[in-house]
Amino acid sequence: MNFCSACGAPVVLRVPAGDSLPRHVCDACGSIHYRNPRLVVGALPEWEDRILLCRRAIEPRHGKWTLPAGFMENGESVANAALRETLEEACARVELGEMYTMISVPHIHQVHVIYRSRLLDLDFAPGIETLELRLFAEDEIPWDEIAFRTIAITLRHFFADRRAGAWRLHTEDLTLPPR
C-alpha cells in the first residue's frame, strides 16, 4: 500500500500508538489501514455417494478441479457466501449443513471455510468461472488434478469421516509447501 484510500496522501509503515504490529498509517488524515486475512468460503456438495467438483476456468490453477468456493464479500454471512459461491460457480442449489473444515493459510493471508452441503437437485451447470462440473465417487476423484491443498485436505477428511461414520469440524494450519 502506497497511498491512503481515505485521502490519497502517501502512507508510511509503522506501529501506531496502542498497537503492536506495523500498519500503513496516513500522517495527513490519521487513517490506519489494517490488512487482515481474507475468507475463502465454499461448499462440499453431496449427492448420494458422490461429490460435485468444478473444473476451474480461471487462474490460479486453470483447468484443475475444486469445490465451489471463493472470497467472501462484505455484508454477507459466511453461510451466505458459501451458498452464493455454489450458485455462481456451479449454478447449483444446496442445503448447507455444518461447517466442515476451517483451514488457516497464513503464508497467503487466507482462511478457507468449507461447509458440508446436500445438492437439492441435479439441475446444475458451469458458471462463468467453471469449465465443467462432475459428480465424483471417492474412487474417481482426480487427486493429481485438485487445484488447492485445502480442497484435497477437505476431501480426504470427508471420505475418512464417511468411512468412520462420524462427522466433526476439522481445523488446521497449512504451512508452506515443501520446496
Domain ranges of the chain: 1-35, 38-173
For 89-124, the pLDDT digits (tens) are: 999 999 999 999 999 999 999 999 999 999 999 999
Closest to 44 in 3D by CA, of 55, 36, 53: 53
What residues contact 125, with CB distance under 8 A and at least 6 apart? 90, 91, 133
Superfamily of domain 38-173: Nucleoside Triphosphate Pyrophosphohydrolase (3.90.79.10)
User: Distance (Å, rounded) from C-alpha 37 to C-alpha 12?
Assistant: 20
For 32-80, the pLDDT digits (tens) are: 999 889 999 999 999 999 999 999 999 999 999 999 999 999 999 999 9
Pairing of strands 110-119, 38-47: parallel
Q: For position 35, what pLDDT does the model report?
A: 87
User: Distance (Å, rounded) from C-alpha 83 to C-alpha 37?
Assistant: 21
Q: Is the pLDDT of residue 169 over 80?
A: yes
Topology of the domain covering 1-35: Ubiquitin Ligase Nedd4; Chain: W; (2.20.70)
Specify the residue for cell string 500508538: 17
pLDDT band at 175 (very low <50, low <70, confident <90, very high): confident
Q: Is the pLDDT of residue 155 over 90?
A: yes
- Least confident among 16-20, 139-143, 154-158: 16-20
Query: Cis link prior to 16 (omega < 30° from 0)?
Result: no
Contact in structure between 157 and 166 (CB atoms under 8 Å): no
User: Distance (Å, rounded) from C-alpha 87 to C-alpha 127?
Assistant: 8
